[in-house]
Structures are given as structure tokens and as C-alpha cells.
Structure 1
């Protein structure tokens, strides 16, 4: 900031960065994408280029409808037949740029970059002073869409617009579409009315009416309007008469010899261009804000679906009903269910005393029970994770922002590739942590454990099963393998570790398993979340765009800072600034 004035170059750089970020967030609708592309192209392709090269040649753009004499004016300013004129309509199908050879090279690499030879014809004239380039644009009323697009592209790049019309066609509707873009962009403009009555009231009436129409369209009351009389022609050069265009030519020649004046006009045009893009910045900010709301809703959907299925999974695990009877029977036989049942009535102390006789020296079915339990656990987790994915994919399928991705990626309708392997790795880590916890908890009962010949691995299976099957008020009379196994398992663990230690062991194991399952569901959820931006990022971008839009509203000619103030050596071309 300089003396509380916005630094235009800093503002342009910020705007360009925001425009690129906005487009990177993949706008969700075609209309929003069109606005985002327009903002990016204008901010990066024109504003940033022009702000970095205020000493580049000025682009003076001649616009007008077919037959208005635009190319004839171009030839008059060029001093020769540089642009074709004639009765074939539209006369000008490609843009023609006339400049010193060095200026042409600069413009081709800067303001006119990206325009091919089929769009832009270059006319190099070494005799011309450098600093100003004239561009004869395609006729603005051309029925060819490409011509209208090219004219609009040139409006983006120009520093000054010279609009050419006639005494009978100035109110035609079609050219006002392009003039509206000139006004929105804040481009300085001069109006040339060709084929006027040579003198008298009729001439005054036409010029006054032209000023009125431009004023009604949002151009200011100080609009400069130049009139050229009917028949003021130079047939040798297919041009307007040199005397009639004298005032315009004198001012352009003055700019060619006045570097400071050119720089001042370029800065003024840049300020107008920045100010003109303000409404578009606000609309893009609104687009981003609306998308933030939509994305937040999408993220809530995926979070809700996965949280619901994780809660259902927890309920299944708490009931233990997902475990197959075969594995539970293995464990029930191992702990010697018949002998242990007879001891329960004698109390925990008796169980501790008889524990060595209860556990037979036969090998515990650790591997069989652990693998079967892991298989059952993987199956039930996969079932709930797949259901969460199916629910989310179904809800997202009709959403414009993500519907295409859902349709193209079949993996989003179920668990992710490699799901089982990743889950098994997590469960192996969980089972290993149970063994480590048992070793630490049973440090003072080492003698008891050795006497029972049980071992950490077997006890680990007991704790693992206890996280899923537990008595919760059951008695030995309850029917079912799970209930019976739970009853025996808890009694034995309590006998070995004590009731409080057993509860802590099981509680810690259950908490670690829950953390592992939460991590698994988070991974599955992230597949969907990766398809949409973070809501905080969108919210932050919308706020930054609105802040820039507010700053742009303070921009007007003379209100901006670009290095130091610029004082032209000669008065710059008198132009009007459109009201905004």
C-alpha cells in the first residue's frame, strides 16, 4: 500500500493466485467452471502479464460493426492500405496488428500470446516509432462465433478502445454486446462516428444522441466522441481522409513519443481492467461458498454412513454372535469345561488351587482358534465396511460434483482393494499387543502361569475371546456354546489374574481393537473424502476472494500505486472512464 492506495501489482498477483486455486478445486457446475476459467484467463493471461510489463507497447484496439469504416480508419492511421476493405461482409475475419517489428515480438510473447496465425495477422513496419500498436479487430456483428470470441479476447488485452460506428448504425443492438464487455472491463474508450452530415444541426443531433446512448449504457458524461463527415475518404489507401482523422492520429503519435504517457495510460487501463473484474470475482466467491455448503453435506453423508456402520459393527462384536461355534467348541474343550464346571461352586480359591489339574498338558488350540476368530472378525468388519461404502455411493451417485466418479469407479461400491490384507495386519498387531499386556499384567503370577502350563499365547486367545463373549449376568445354565464358553473363559481369567486385573485386560484389549477398527473405517471413508475439497479450504478461498473483491472496489484511476507516481511528459490521449 502507498498512501493508503492499493498496490495494483500486489493486488493483481493475489488475484491471479486465487483464480488458479479456484480452478484447481474443480468447479461443480458448468456455469461455475465457465466463470472460474474466465477469471483465471483474465487474471493470469492479461492482468498479470500487463502488470509485469507496463512499459510494453500500448495496444489500441479498433472495434466496430461491418461496414462502419473501421478498417478505413485503421489504414488512415497506418498511412497505407494495411487492412482490407470492400463490400464482402464481414470484411475483417482475422485481427490485424500493425507495429514496429520489435513491438510485435514483445506483444506476441505478452498481451497477444496464444493467438495463432489464423487469428492474428502481423504487419511489421520498421518506419513506425515503437511504443504503440494498432489492432483492427474482426467485425463485432460477425455471425461467426470464433470472430466474436476473438474480438472479446482482444478487448481483454487492449489498453484503449476506439469504437467506430456510423450516423445511421450507432443504435444497432449487436455491437452493444461487445461494448458492454468494454464497459465491464473498464477499458478507456473513444467513439468515432463515421459518415456524419458535413455540418449543421443534423450533425449535432447525431453526436448528442450518441453521447446519450453511451451514457445510458454506463459510460460517463465526459465521453470523447469524434465525428467524420460523409465522403471524407482517401481512395488511394482505402482509407478515411487524413485530415478528418487528424485529431486521433496526432494523439496516437504523441503517445508514441511519450513513454511516461504510455505508461500512465497502461496503468489507467490496468486499473480499469482490475476494477472491471470485481463483479466476476464476487460471483466466483459466491460459487465457492455454495460449493462449500454442498461439499459439507457430502462429507456429512460419508461420515454418517460410516459412523452408523461402525456402531452396528461394535454392537455385533459386543454380542459375539459373529463367532462360529466350531472355534468356540475348540476352546471350550481345551479348558476342560466338565471339570471346571464342577469346581465353580467351590469358589475362585478352589479354582486357583486346582488349576494345574484343570489344564491338561495337551497343546492348546491357539493357532486354530486365533485364525478362526480372525477370519470371523475380518468377515464381519468387511460386511459393515462394504455396507457403509454402498450407502455412500448410492447417496453420492446423483450428485453433480461426484456422480461421474462414483459411476466410473466400481471399487467405491464396496471395500477398497487390499482391504482384507490390511485389516489382518492390524488384527495381528492387536493380538500381539494382548500378549504383551498379559506378560506385563502377569509378572507377579509367573509361578502360577508356569504351574498351569498355559503360556502367554493361550491366555492371549482367552482375552481375545473375552472381548467378544462375556457373561454379562449369564450363569452356567444359559444355553449356547458362546454363553458357556464365555462363562468358563471369564472364570478362568479371573482365577489367574484376579477379577480387577482381568477386567482391565479385557477393557484395554477392547479399546485397542476399537482404535484399529476406527482406523480401518477412516481409511475407507477417506476414499470418498478425497473426491471433494476440504470444507475449510473452500471456506478460506471464498473469504479471500471476497476480501480481494472488496479491495478491487477501491480501485479507480489515480487511486492505485504502481511504484512511484507517473507524470506524462505530454498530455495523454483524452479518454473517458466508464462508470462502475
Structure 2
């Protein structure tokens, strides 16, 4: 049974019989206590060994000074923005280190949701002490002993605690049941039966705890159930003070130190309890445990030991927990100490974001770099296809098959010469033409030229699409994208033939317009000859696409006809200008077609939600804004 003195201590009764002070507390309010200490208003002093247990912090003279509301609102806004930016990150590519990055992202988001933002909104909420530890360490027994009643299940069956049990003063039970802390966990009021399955937070009100303190018994972090580990880490990140409980037999386990390291990195205030310390060899175990704490960088954690002893009614003997009880009550009942713990943890969490958020941004940059590489592979494939087309339209390969047959038919039968109108006499009156040209041959040549150019463009586009797929398959991330719902990436798009036909037809019209507006014939020729503009535009296209350049002669047969004719009519300089404009226009139209084809792959990258560089920039900016807001 608990003695009257113990009951008075647990109840948190203050001198004079009044209840524990519940002045408005904020994360920033501890600054007043810190200023009082620095100004010499603290009456407490550490002993000669610097033992924090002996230090006494005086109550600040003006503890109820309110924080700057504008600063508090700004900090909450900045933290909310940070949370949104972290939540928007999508680490979808399976690149080295991505699993660790995803876990880090989830931890940052959870800590913002579960602790940081709720702590700002719940400034006057009690200090939350979360007891975490390995299986069978005695967390539940310790909670029951500190509360003075069996509130958490104990037993030989492991794990015993399936759901977290939170015990607080009755006046704060409603806040923990309905407040913002751990928003995605279900809440049920206690008392709790021996076993509750699922992620339910069981909230139990007990007037044996002071108003400034809440204890939470979390599931074992080394449980055989994977979700218990997730709960344990989640609750650790949401605590104002994390009390790690381990045993003399298991304190060297790797997972104990991993959890302590994680708590340190996440900014938690840490205490450690070494339980079940055997008689006789206990000092050696305690000393070794202390050495390991120092080696792992958590030597400043407050340490407690509980000897191997009997357990009755799921509770330890009162004398074994007196030191732990006194420390917790001292923190809970002193507004300055309690607020300092909250402020230290809150500040430690914000300090940890200086490293954790930029590290996450680096992983986002790594994903964005892969996205850039995949996008550049697409650009390279279509650039190669465009270069292929450039070569094909310069080496005369187009003047084959149907195009060559139609050109020979048009030029060899006299239709080309008949397209020229020869003037006779000096009076300026035009004479008659020798025979009539056959317009059907001109139309057939124009159609064959258009069909040949369309086939050339389609072939290059098909090669580019195949090249993109091969390039992506050769890249692990590209293979991942193609293995997903990447519909329409195989081959060219269904609408490309229609777009190609429209582009080629528009280009032929453009060449005709060039002949009409810029095809100024030499004066000596103009006195004798006029010409059919449509026929001459076809001759110009043949000169461009069938012979490489329209101003370079190719000797022999009809091959020299387009060049000699065009140069004779327009002169080399004028012809060179028209040829350059016509070729540039064709290349531009094909480039736009290929750009439209490449959009499909960009859409596949977007659909996969691969982050771009701006996502990393937003994280860096959010980190900077947080530093400014603090």
C-alpha cells in the first residue's frame, strides 16, 4: 500500500493544500525561467559533481508572461507549410537509399502531426512521458507502480501490452481523448482489459497523477509484431520525455541502442531505466551500461536502476521506484522544470529538422536527377531521329521509288519545260506554248513527294520511340516506369500519321508561298520567261530533298535539271536564301512533331509522380523559414 506521504506526493498537493499550479504554459514560456537563471534569480545550485538531480530551479517571478501571439502564429504557419511540403514528396524510384529516405520522410511527417503541431496548439497540456523498451523490461509494472494501481496489463505472455495505455489526471483525460495529439490513432477511455488489439490509444484518468504529468506505456519496440515497433517509434517521437526501460540481461541488445540513437536524432529528452539488476554483480552491470551510454552519445540522459525484486499485484515495491517518482514529480510540479523539459524537447525536434529535412531534400534531388536523366534520354533519342532526317533529306535518298518515277515522268515528257512560258518578240506580247502540260503528272509528283516525305518522318519517329524504350529499359528507374501503367509508350502515338500529313502539306504550301513572294527571277531571264509557280515550287522541293541542296549541281541526265533550272531562273544567292528558309521551316515542323511525341514520356514521368527540382527547393526554403520563424 502507498503511504499517506507517498499518496500526497503522487497527488501533487502543494504546500498549503492547494492543487498543482496550472498556469498557462507554452513552449516559449521556459524562456522566462532561462532568463531568470542567467540573471542570477535561481536559488538552486548543482553539487560538486554536477549531478542534475541535485539542481534546484527557482520559480520565475513572472511565469505567466504570455508569448508574442504573432510569433506563435507565424511559427505554427511555417511548421504547417513544412509538414505540407514533406507530405507532398514522392520518392517513387527504387534508387539506392530510398527505403531509408521514405522512413525518414514518414518520421518527420508523423512527428510534425503527432507532436510538434499538437504541442503548439496544446500549450498547457501536461508533460507526456512515454515509457518504451524491450519485451519483458517491466514498463507496464513500472507504470502501475508509479500510478499506484493496476492500469496496464502485465504477465509472462509476450508481448503483454498490445495497445498503448495513457494515464493522466482526470482533468486532462478529455484533452487526450479529443485533442490533437496523435491524430491518426483511435482513442478509447479506460480502464483497459488485459489485452487490447489494434492501434487504439487507451486513456485512463487517475487522480494519483498530478495535473502536469501524463504517463504512456507503449508496446515493446522489439516485439514479434511489426506494428508494435511502428507504434513504439511513433509514440517515442510524440513524447516530451522518452523513458527507455531495459534490463540487465538485455541492455546490450542492438535495438536498444538503435532506439536511443533515434530518440537523440529526433530531439527527444531522454531518461533510461536499467531494471532487474541482480544482487552482487549489479555495480559492474551499471558501470558498463553507463560506459555504453557515453559511447553512444547519450551519456547525459538521466539514469535509474531497479534491482531484481518481487512483483505483487503487477507492482514493484515502492522503495524501488522512489527516485524515479521523485524526479518525475519534481518535473511535473515545477512549472519552470516542466516547461524546460517541454521546451528542450520541442527545440530539440526543431533543431533536428536542420539536418533531417535537408537530408530528405538530397534524396528528392537524387530522384529529380534520375528524372532529368530519363528526360534527357528522350531528348537524345528524338535529336538523333531529327539528325537522321536531316541526313536523309540531304543525301538524295528520298528521290527513289515512286518519287523518282514521277519526277522522271514529269521532267522527261516535257511537262517541266511546258511549265515555262516563253515570250516572243520585243513587243512584250506572249507567244503561244508548244503543246499543253499535263496537270495530272504535276499532281502525281506532288503527291508522291508528300507521301515519301511522310514515310521518311514516320520511320524516323518510330526509330526514336524504339530508341527511347531501349534507353529506358537499360536504366533501372526507366525499367520501373515502363513496368508500371505506362500506356501508349510502345511505338508512335496513334494520331502521329494525321499530324505528319498535315505538317508536310503545310510545308509544301509554305514553299509555294516562298516562290511567289521571294522567287525574284534574274532580269535577263524575266524578259524572256515566266513560269508556273506551283510547278516551280515542286522543282524547288525536288532540288532540296532529292539532291541535297538546291544550289549544287549534280551532273548527268535529269539529275542536273532542278539545279540548273533553279539557278538559271533565280541566281545562286536568291536560291540559297529560299532553300535555307524552306529547309529551316521543314526542320521546325518536324521538330514540333517530335516534341509532341516526346510529351508522352514526360507525361509518364509525371504520372509516376517523380519529384522535380522544385520539390527539393521547397524543402530547403521551408527549413530556412523555420529558422527565421524561431
TM bin (shorter chain): 0.7 to 0.9
Report the Cα distance in structure 2 between the residues aligned to 1:322 and 1:162, rounded to whole angstroms.
80
Determine the C-alpha separation between the residues in 2 that align with 1:121 and 1:376: 73
1:178 corresponds to which of 237, 259, 276: 259
- Normalised by the size of structure 2, how large is the TM-score? 0.71
1:164 and 2:245 are equivalent in the alignment:
yes
Q: Report the secondary structure of 2:260's partner residue.
A: helix
Tell which has more relative contact order, 1 or 2 (C-alpha 8 A, sep 6+). 1
d(CA) in 2 for partners of 1:523 and 1:561? 44
Measure how far apart 1:62 and its partner are.
0.7
Shift of 1:507: 2.5
Q: Deviations over 1:336-372 (max 9, x none)?
A: 754877999x99x99x998962683653645433332
**1:518 correspondence with 2:591:** yes
**TM value normalised by structure 1:** 0.76
For 1:24, the equivalent position in structure 2 comes to: 90
1:46 aligns with 2:107: no
Secondary structure of the 1:53 match is: helix
* Preserved CA contact (<8 Å) 2:130 2:243: yes
1:170-569 superposed matches below 5 A: 170-196=251-277, 205-220=284-299, 222-231=300-309, 235-236=312-313, 238-253=314-329, 262-276=338-352, 280-281=356-357, 283-291=359-367, 294-330=370-406, 333-334=409-410, 338=414, 357=433, 360=436, 362-363=438-439, 365-407=441-483, 409=486, 411-441=488-518, 456-470=533-547, 473-474=552-553, 478-479=556-557, 483=559, 486-487=562-563, 490=566, 494-495=568-569, 500-532=573-605
Question: Which residue of the other structure, out of 125, 134, 138, is the alignment partner of 1:65?
Answer: 134
SS at match of 2:97: helix
SS in 2 for 1:192: strand
1:297–1:41 CA distance, 2 compared to 1 (3 A): closer
Q: Distance in 2 between matches of 1:339 and 1:164?
A: 101
Counterparts of 2:132 and 2:91 in 1: how far apart (Å)?
Answer: 36
Alpha carbons of structure 1 residues 281 and 356: separation in structure 2 relative to 1, 3 Å: farther
Q: Cα distance 1:72–1:343, how it changes in 2: closer, same or farther (>3 A)?
A: closer
Gaps of at least 5 residues in structure 1 are: 564-580
1:16–1:40 Cα contact (<8 Å) kept: no
Q: Counterparts of 2:563 and 2:138 in 1: how far apart (Å)?
A: 102
- Report the equivalent of 2:198: 118
Quote how far apart the aligned CAs of 1:386 are.
Answer: 1.2
1:151 counterpart residue number: 232
Distance 1:185 1:146 in 2: 20
- Aligned counterpart for 1:138 among listed residues 211, 216, 219: 219
Hey, what's the Cα distance between the residues in 2 that align with 1:539 and 1:295? 9
Gaps of 5+ in 2: 1-27, 32-70, 188-196
**1:125-182: CA deviation from partner (whole Å, max 9, x where unpaired):** 2756656432211223323333223212222222211122344543445433323322
1:81 aligns with 2:150: yes
Q: Relative to structure 1, is the Cα distance of residues 343 and 405 closer, same or farther in structure 2, using a 3 angstrom cutoff?
A: closer
- 1:192–1:225 Cα contact (<8 Å) kept: yes
- What do residues 513-540 of structure 1 show as CA deviations (whole Å, max 9, x unaligned)? 1111122222333433455589x98566
| Distance in 1 (alpha carbons) for counterparts of 2:431 and 2:376 | 53
Residues 514 and 578, structure 2, Cα contact 8 Å, conserved in 1? yes
Worse-superposed segment, 268-277 or 37-46: 268-277
Per the TM alignment, residue 319 of structure 1 is displaced from its structure 2 partner at its CA by 2.9
Q: 1:574 maps to what in 2?
A: none
Cα distance change on mapping 1:161 and 1:540 into 2, 3 Å:
same
Contact 2:129 2:243 in 1 (8 A): yes
Shift of 1:304: 3.1
In structure 2, distance between residues paired with 1:259 and 1:487: 97
* 1:255–1:105 Cα change, 3 Å: farther
Aligned mate of 1:102, from 174, 196, 210: 174
Per the alignment, do residues 411 and 195 of structure 1 end up closer, same or farther by CA in structure 2, a change over 3 Å counting?
A: closer
